[in-house]
Amino acid sequence: MSNPKIQQINSKMIVTELLSLYLGCIVDFRRLSLSNGVAKKPIIGRIQARLGRLFGAWGVFFKGFLKHPVMVGSIIPSSDSTVKMMLDPVKWDECDLFVEYGPGVGTFCRPVLERMKPNAALVVIDLNPDFIAYLSKTIHDSRFYPIHGSAADVQEIIRDLGHEKADYILSGLPFSTLPDNLGPKIAQETYNAIRPGGAFLVYQFVRRARDFMAVHFDHIDNGYSFWNILPCHLFWGWKSK
């Protein structure tokens, strides 16, 4: 059992650190308003660093949502329960290449890496350079490949990395709001990129994503995660062997 006194000390330390960061930002903003153009650059850099520490992964995720709301499935990362349910059907001993579309701040990346074989690879693809930069800085694993690009180019991306097919592809992209008929294209490219016997793993707030999958995948299993904000549909589309 955890020690209540230790928890209380840790909580006080966290509050103190957050208050210090907040006050530091206020001071820097004040200096910024009084500075000339040359002096502003280092102050802006300090403010950005403080805000990054203050908000961490949640701040990066929220910033990504504000930048590309139609490309990010949710304003809040998926819950641990959703992650577990989504990954449970994966046969990790048969997985050499796992691909994720829209990794955000790595909610799925770390659990996937924990489950993968030592010689397997995780390729994550995102159009948002902020997410890719954050993942590159925070995940240090030789099996991890963060790629700034489009899920529609998945076949080209995995070929460039020396792979013929993916075993599993995971996506939380909001298929129903993707622009320029991108949803059907990604579904088609994903099917072509997955090996026979592999699967397309999709989690969505609405069921419409299943319609994009049903055109290509022979069998689709369905699930639902109540312990998520918001609750979401889970789909596993299997490609026949």
| 96 and 128 assigned to the same domain | yes
| 131 and 195 assigned to the same domain | yes
The total of other beta-carbon atoms located within 10 Å of residue 104's CB is 26
| 104 and 217 assigned to the same domain | yes
| 213 and 114 assigned to the same domain | yes
Domain count of the chain? Answer: 2
| 90 and 175 assigned to the same domain | yes
| 121 and 186 assigned to the same domain | yes
Is 72 within a domain? no
Could you list the residue range(s) of the whole structural domain that residue 201 is in?
A: 80-238
Global pTM?
0.72
Is 92 within a domain? yes
| 172 and 217 assigned to the same domain | yes
Average pLDDT, the chain: 78
First and final C-alpha spacing in the chain: 48
**Per-residue DSSP letters for 30-62?**
HHHHH--HHHHHHHHHHHHHHHHHHHHHHHHHH
Per the structure block, which two tokens stand in for 150? Answer: 């489009």
- Spatial neighbors of 72 by CB under 8 A, at least 6 apart, are 64, 65, 102, 104, 128, 174
Question: Residue written as tokens 């299993």?
Answer: 221
Q: What is the pLDDT of residues 54-105, one digit of tens each?
A: 555 555 555 555 555 444 444 456 688 899 999 999 999 999 999 999 998 8
| 42 and 156 assigned to the same domain | no
| 154 and 56 assigned to the same domain | no
Is 70 within a domain? no
CATH of the domain at 182: 3.40.50.150
Q: Which of 63, 93, 108 is at the close of a domain? A: 63
The total of other beta-carbon atoms located within 10 Å of residue 202's CB is 26
Per the structure block, which two tokens stand in for 188? Answer: 């088609």
27 band by pLDDT with thresholds 50, 70 and 90: low
| 85 and 58 assigned to the same domain | no
Q: What is the pLDDT of residues 217-240, one digit of tens each?
A: 989 999 988 877 668 899 999 999
